[in-house]
Amino acid sequence: GIQVEQSPPDLILQEGANSTLRCNFSDSVNNLQWFHQNPWGQLINLFYIPSGTKQNGRLSATTVATERYSLLYISSSQTTDSGVYFCAVGGGGSQGNLIFGKGTKLSVKP
Amino acid sequence: GAGVSQSPSNKVTEKGKDVELRCDPISGHTALYWYRQSLGQGLEFLIYFQGNSAPDKSGLPSDRFSAERTGGSVSTLTIQRTQQEDSAVYLCASSLFVGFGVQVSPLHFGNGTRLTVT
């Protein structure tokens, strides 16, 4: 099956700093999503981005499907950005199953 | 409701007992997923339902685990003869697919059921 690797596993930032999180995957995909899990355990979908670039406020994401990676950019980080960021990928055809990476744990300090 | 609803939110059970966890997906969503998350870990895929297709059960860890989805809506995950290693948060998510494997909405997760096996 598809392997998903996220880096870095842990990241500590000072409020206001920018960061880039990376997701590498081992096979072609037709589905890639980024999620944020807040400290209370809620999982919120950030982006559905199997290819291309999208932006939503201070967050943006880019997926280069041919090179099998995706990047999540966080600019001007805030303490509320703390939590775990997961990348999830799905294969082609009717395969809707999404495989999650182990996540990047982000801590933003005031 | 507007979101994915899971019940109960917490469940404590004794080793060896059976448990049922319920998921009400977003109305109209054709795809439903179950994941398991142990403390401090990532999400482990369990099972996936899409419309009337046969479910993808490839993630179920043992034959003690089963799930069904009735009428294309509500789903129940059943764990028989629970073991302590089954303790985790069980997460349900739903999404909308059209055509052949084309996802038109992102995954929406419920708040999970925290299962503790004593």
Domains detected in chain B: 5-105 (2.60.40.10)
Quick check: B50 and A35 CB within 8 A? no
pLDDT for position B30: 86
pLDDT at A94: 46
pLDDT of residue A36: 97
Helices (H) and strands (E) in chain B, counts: 0, 12
Q: Which residue of A has its CA nearest to B100?
A: A94
Between CA B35 and CA B22 the distance in angstroms is 13
Q: What is the pLDDT of residue B94?
A: 93
The count of domains in chain A is 1
Could you tell me which residue, B34 or A90, shows the higher pLDDT? Answer: B34
- Look at residue B39 in the predicted model and tell me its pLDDT: 86
- Alpha carbon dihedral B107, B24, B4, A61, in 10-degree steps, equals 0
Predicted confidence at residue A80, as pLDDT, reads 96
Contact yes or no for B43 and A100 at CB 8 A: yes
Q: Do B101 and A95 touch (CB under 8 A)?
A: yes
Q: What is the CATH number of the domain that holds A27?
A: 2.60.40.10
Instruction: Give residue A86's pLDDT.
Output: 97
| CA distance linking residue B118 with residue B107, whole number of Å | 32
Nearest residue to B86 (alpha-carbon basis) of B49, B104, B60: B60
Residues of chain A with C-beta less than 8 angstroms from the C-beta of B105: 48
Q: Do residues A48 and B106 lie in contact, with contact meaning Cβ atoms separated by under 8 Å?
A: yes
Task: Calculate ∠ Cα B87-A44-A15, nearest 5°.
Answer: 105
Q: What is the pLDDT of residues B68-112, one digit of tens each?
A: 998 879 999 999 999 999 999 999 999 886 555 555 678 899 999
- Percentage of residues of chain B with pLDDT beyond 90: 69
Q: Tell me which residue range forms the domain holding A61.
A: 4-109
B70: three-class secondary structure by DSSP: helix
Q: What is the pLDDT of residue B71?
A: 81
According to the model, what pLDDT value does residue A93 have?
A: 46
Radius of gyration of chain B (CA): 14
Q: Do B42 and A102 touch (CB under 8 A)?
A: yes
For residue A84, the cross-strand partners are: A37, A105
Q: Is the peptide bond before B8 cis (omega within 30 degrees of 0)?
A: yes
Q: What is the DSSP letter of B103?
A: E
Mean of the per-residue pLDDT values of chain B: 91
Ranges of beta strands (E only) in A26-103 are 31-37, 43-48, 52-56, 59-64, 69-74, 83-90, 98-100
Q: Average pLDDT across each block of 10 residues of chain A; the chain has 110 residues. List them in order.
A: 94 97 92 93 93 96 96 97 95 68 96
